[in-house]
Chains A and B, each alone.
Chain A
Amino acid sequence: MADATLRVFRGDREGGKAVDYKVPVTEGMVVLDAIHSIQAHQSPDLAVRWNCKAAKCGSCSAEVNGKPRLMCKTRMDSLPTDEPVTVFPMKAFPVIKDLVTDVSWNYKVNKKIPPFQPRPGVEWKMYQPDVDRVQEFRKCIECFLCQNVCHVLRDHDKKEQFGGPRFFVRTAGLEMHPLDGLNRTRMLKEELGIGFCNITKCCTEVCPEEIHITDNAIIPLKERVVDEFYDPVTMIVRKIFGAKTS
């Protein structure tokens, strides 16, 4: 088969430039294979994160021809061959080197979320229909592509005030767990800034696990926050009887 040209970002925190590499294309090849071929034969110090090469670990996120993708799932034969295939690091996170970005902020956000806490004296029985909707959220492989495309993070860089779609998905998985006994709405409102999300669904579009992030996680969580903090009846009740702690 023919060669393809990959135009890969090479650089670090100080800056960088796109470099062209010619790579022989084999049948069924994915972009990550092409990057590995560059490492093995042309540039052994080309930095890239990857682990499983089977779309299960969510490590090899990048922007291929401008679109946020997992490189291990992006077939070369799905891309036009008459022009270079551009491979750039995720834009919403600072570059460490080449295709590797600093995603440590995500791990900090994760620490803010109170963990699963079973209701006291709960019986450990759960039924598949109740578990189904939570299992959708638990499919998340933490590729952070949703974080990368979320305009609140990508364009407005509100990392101090906003948690991003990944952590709404995680919180939804806890809030909707059939046996969980905590209320995380105040945390959603105040620490994860769920109000910043204006449901443009960019996150849902890029999710490689096809999680309905906006419809199934964010909107129901927004509704809970609204019910608790902005519902007129609740507000009156609260005024009279005092605020419930959550």
Chain B
Amino acid sequence: MTATSKYETHEYDVLIIGAGGAGLRAALEALAQGAKVGVVCKSLLGKAHTVMAEGGLAAAMANVDRADNWQTHFRDTMRGGKLLNNWRMAQLHAQEAPDRVRELEQWGALFDRTESGDILQRAFGGHTFKRLCHVGDRTGLEMIRTLQDRGVQMGFDVFMECTITKLLTDANGVTGAFGYWRESGRFVTFKAKSIVIATGGIGKSWKITSNSWECTGDGMALAYEAGAELLDMEFVQFHPTGMVWPPGVQGILVTEAVRGEGGILRNKNGERFMEKYDPKRMELSTRDVVARSIYTEVKEGRGTPHGGAFLDISHKPAEYVKRKLPSMYHQFKELADVDITKGPMEVGPTCHYVMGGIRVDAETGQSSVPGLFAAGEAAGGLHGANRLGGNSLSDLLVFGRRAGLGAAEHAKKTAAPSLDNAQVEEAERQVLAPFDRSDGENPYTIHHDLQDVMQRLVGIFRTDEDLRLALVELEKLKERAKKMRVEGSRLFNPGWHLSRDLQCMLTVSEACTHAALARRESRGAHSRLDFPKSEDAWGKKNHVIVKKGGAMTLFEVPRGDMPAELTQILAEDQ
């Protein structure tokens, strides 16, 4: 019996990997195009990381600030990204986001309202106008539930708690994917004409992170192994406000909406320190600036008892705080014994988002591998060197839809693929290897050490020396990972699952470190202590990482010039 006939096999026009906002939106669009669609996700449906998005969804609807328009949103996004953004993506994003929001509403989403019955919008860092459509501080939940219910009704097949470990390809591009059911440990193969990667971020490589266990960079690692290019991997966003105490909750997100609703940052001396770092925008400066400011305050001895900054919203009426920030109220009350309507929270930076990702075509979301598409956090380009809050949820919708469309159209002109036995056998061998070893380390230990390396050496502030050391440490970790061992059976075995996720984390960590070492300037979220300034020349080039001859290879590509129309928008001031 051949490997390809040995396993449960499913066949789709479009296979979506990941069921967060981007994956679900892609699936809906592919379905609307008449494609047969399968969605694979590592968790249960509706539990993806999108569910944790709090503050809102940026779209120039102009419901609150009438002067808002796509041009201003485009300009804010480009400036926030320090002009390294793919300008075409930034343009499409700003232009299409309002339609994507209206569509959600027509599918049943219920946003908070203005007095006149429209969708309410709130202020957020780096946005000129009140632009974030929201539902209290649980916008992501509303979005994922709406998309999920629509998908179930339209009829996609969902493979829940299923992990893809390898993309299968032939000379013409993707042919399918190989994975296992988390529950039973049984293997499964998919034949697909198009594949959309929508697997989200990479935060689990850092010790202090707001990300869930799923954010292990799977999609980027899978695409990289399949020959796709990764873009701008040095740009990792540290959200300024994560919880810092107690230890078990360190890193859990404190939404930017706290500042959007008027929250004030102070150091232990009671000084409103943002006056020093960004007197114009204060607390609503961009995330890179606020994160560095808090970090600097703590480093210079002005931090709070648990090593953070105070964030205070208690000057607002208690009822208002509970209504606009209900989950923050409960989170602090239950996990940290702090009543945020009466006193300040303690907050500090937490690894939150990667601006880099799979390099895609702005219009279709297609990567350099034919038939392989990507959208959402797994894709790179839109956010440049730093993402504005609220631009992620809109990214998921705008480019999720575009990738779904692109994938469906690609499928229409592609013949049914066949899978290569040798590739499937190799995939099987890779996943089972840790069971065959009689000794070796527990994957949890290696993961712990990886998080320590990335936190210490590839954090908010970086240096040549630290980054070189990180590469050495990553090599050692890769060697250790080759010898790791898992115990127990294949039945729902988290140790085994981690052994696979860890391989992906090591790949993306290495890509991130290489790119960070190569960029000898500071820009957006990438801050080099040894090169503290932004250089114009660096602002015109992006980093691309690709696997060549089995080795990770980095090269520079020109960002490309904007058409005059966009250059002019960018030059205009408010």
Q: What residues make up the interface of A, taking CB atoms closer than 8 Å to B?
A: 12, 26-30, 33, 39-41, 44-59, 73, 75, 96-98, 100, 103-104, 107, 110-111, 115-116, 118, 124-128, 131, 134-135, 138-139, 141-142, 174, 177, 180
Contact = CB atoms under 8 A, between A and B. Distances in A.
B248 A127 contact: no
Contacts of A58: 47
Interface in B94-147: 102, 105-108, 110, 112-113, 116-118, 135-136, 138, 140-142, 145
Contact of B142 (A49, A103, A138): A138
Contact of B108 (A33, A116, A124, A128): A116
Interface string B286-319: 0000000000000000000000000000000000
Contacts of A134: 110
Contact of A28 (B142, B160, B246): B246
Contact of A177 (B45, B49, B108, B331): B108
B495 A110 contact: no
Interface stretch (B272-280, B421-429, B440-448): B440-448
B112 A131 contact: yes
B488 A40 contact: no
B248 A30 contact: yes
Interface of B: 43-49, 51-52, 102, 105-108, 110, 112-113, 116-118, 135-136, 138, 140-142, 145, 149-150, 152-153, 160, 183, 212-214, 245-249, 252-253, 327, 330-331, 334-336, 442-445, 448, 486-489, 491-496, 498
Contact of A29 (B246, B327, B488): B246
A117 B213 CA distance: 35
B327 A56 contact: yes
B110 A131 contact: yes
Nearest to B183: A96
Contacts, number: 161
B52 A128 contact: no
For the complex of A and B, the 6 pairs showing the least CB-CB separation, nearest first, are: A28-B246, A44-B495, A45-B488, A116-B108, A125-B117, A47-B492
29 contacts: A27-B247, A28-B247, A28-B249, A28-B336, A29-B246, A30-B249, A30-B335, A45-B489, A47-B494, A48-B494, A49-B43, A53-B249, A59-B47, A73-B334, A96-B183, A100-B183, A100-B492, A107-B45, A115-B149, A115-B153, A116-B107, A124-B102, A126-B110, A127-B113, A127-B117, A131-B110, A138-B110, A177-B108, A177-B110
A97 B110 CA distance: 37
A41 B495 CA distance: 11
Given A44-B442, A73-B335, A100-B492, A54 B107 contact: no
B45 A53 contact: no
Contact of B491 (A29, A97, A127, A180): A97
Contacts of A26: 246-248
B57 to A, nearest CB: 15
A51 B213 contact: yes
A75 B246 CA distance: 11
Contacts of A44: 442-444, 486-488, 493-495, 498
Contacts of A177: 108, 110
B460 to A, nearest CB: 22
Contacts of B136: 135
Nearest to B490: A45
B338 to A, nearest CB: 11
Given A131-B110, A138-B145, A55 B135 contact: no
A46 B498 CA distance: 12
A118 B104 CA distance: 12
Contact of B44 (A30, A55, A103, A128): A103
Contacts of B102: 124
A104 B162 CA distance: 14
Nearest to B215: A51
A73 B330 CA distance: 10
Interface centre among B150, B152, B212 (most CB of A within 10 A): B212
A40 B327 contact: no
Nearest to B152: A111
Contact of B113 (A39, A47, A59, A128): A128
Given A29-B246, A100-B183, 14 more contacts: A29-B248, A40-B448, A44-B498, A53-B252, A56-B51, A75-B334, A97-B183, A107-B160, A115-B108, A115-B150, A116-B107, A124-B106, A131-B110, A139-B138
A115 B146 CA distance: 10
A100 B160 CA distance: 14
A75 B336 CA distance: 10
A39 to B, nearest CB: 6
A1 to B, nearest CB: 11
A242 B240 CA distance: 64
Contacts of B152: 107, 110-111
B331 A55 contact: yes
A22 B242 CA distance: 30
Nearest to B150: A115
A184 to B, nearest CB: 13
A131 B114 CA distance: 11
Contacts of B140: 56
B117 A56 contact: no
A142 B246 contact: no
Interface centre among B105, B335, B496 (most CB of A within 10 A): B335
Contacts of B253: 54
Nearest to A33: B248
A45 B246 contact: no
Nearest to B444: A40
